[in-house]
């Protein structure tokens, strides 16, 4: 029962991630449509500025699709966990850390060709990375050794949240790598 509920939460976060990525996909589709114009009109527009901009937009939109999915899925999962477990945690923290970890893993896998693999070709890796990263991060956040509760009244709440996230932020990527 618990696994089924968690699986449904993951599916909902994936769906939410794709919905948030939809404007990016539509922008890329529009750019791709513009790039098809020379094929329809005997290459009359082959060297136009419009086609150059469309190429940049296509590369910029589809080229970061995996990044946007990691960010949006991670944010959704962290937000749900924060509300369910009543955590003093801004959901953007695990989302940004998941994105940084994903970039690091892609970089380790593809070396100098990292930028070419942050888009559509790594969507499945992005989904898995976002889910696994968040599950581990929330686990480490809830079970951290040093809670720093004594600082809660002495420092700003944002500073307290940032300090509390350091332990899981360090532990999660190294756990994922091994």
Containing H/E element for 114? none
- Name every residue whose Cβ is closer than 8 Å to that of residue 101 and which is 6 or more positions away in sequence: 129, 133, 172, 173, 176
pLDDT of residue 109: 87
Q: How many domains does the chain have?
A: 1
Residue 14 phi/psi, 5-degree rounding, is -65, -45
Q: What is the mean pLDDT of residues 57-80?
A: 94
In this prediction, residue 49 has a pLDDT band, given cuts at 50, 70 and 90, of: confident
pLDDT of residue 145: 73
pLDDT of residue 82: 93
Cα–Cα distance, 56 to 171 (Å, whole number): 37
Cα–Cα distance, 81 to 91 (Å, whole number): 9
Nearest to 32 by CA among 54, 47, 10: 54
What's the whole-number average pLDDT of the chain? Answer: 85
Cα–Cα distance, 125 to 31 (Å, whole number): 25
In contact, 103 and 68? CB cutoff 8 Å: no
In contact, 90 and 161? CB cutoff 8 Å: yes
Q: What is the mean pLDDT of residues 130-140?
A: 94
In contact, 165 and 148? CB cutoff 8 Å: no
**What does the block give as tokens for 100?**
């940084």
Q: What is the mean pLDDT of residues 41-60?
A: 77
Percent of residues, the chain, with pLDDT higher than 90 = 49
Stated pTM of the model = 0.84
**C-alpha distance across the termini of the chain, in Å:** 29
Residue 119 phi/psi, 5-degree rounding, is -110, -140
Q: What is the pLDDT of residues 76-130, one digit of tens each?
A: 999 999 999 998 889 999 999 999 999 999 998 888 888 888 988 899 999 999 9
Residue 67: domain span: 2-177
Q: What is the pLDDT of residues 16-48, one digit of tens each?
A: 999 999 999 999 999 998 888 766 665 555 667
pLDDT of residue 52: 85
Q: For residue 87, is it left (φ>0), alpha (ψ between -120 and 50) or beta? A: beta
């Amino acid at each position: 029962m618990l696994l089924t509920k968690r699986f449904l939460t993951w599916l909902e976060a994936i769906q939410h991630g794709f919905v948030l990525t939809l404007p990016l996909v539509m922008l890329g589709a529009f750019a791709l449509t513009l790039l098809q114009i020379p094929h329809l009109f005997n290459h009359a527009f082959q060297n136009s500025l419009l086609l150059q901009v469309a190429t940049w937009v296509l590369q910029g939109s589809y080229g970061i699709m995996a990044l946007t999915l990691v960010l949006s899925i991670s944010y959704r999962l962290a937000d749900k966990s924060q509300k369910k477990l009543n955590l003093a945690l801004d959901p953007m923290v695990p989302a940004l850390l998941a994105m940084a970890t994903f970039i690091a893993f892609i970089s380790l896998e593809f070396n100098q060709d990292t930028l070419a693999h942050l888009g559509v070709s790594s969507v499945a890796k992005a989904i898995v990375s976002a889910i696994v990263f968040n599950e581990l991060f929330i686990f480490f956040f809830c079970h951290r050794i040093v809670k720093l509760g004594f600082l809660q009244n002495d420092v700003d709440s944002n500073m307290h949240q940032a300090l509390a996230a350091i332990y899981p932020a360090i532990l999660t990527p190294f756990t994922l790598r091994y």
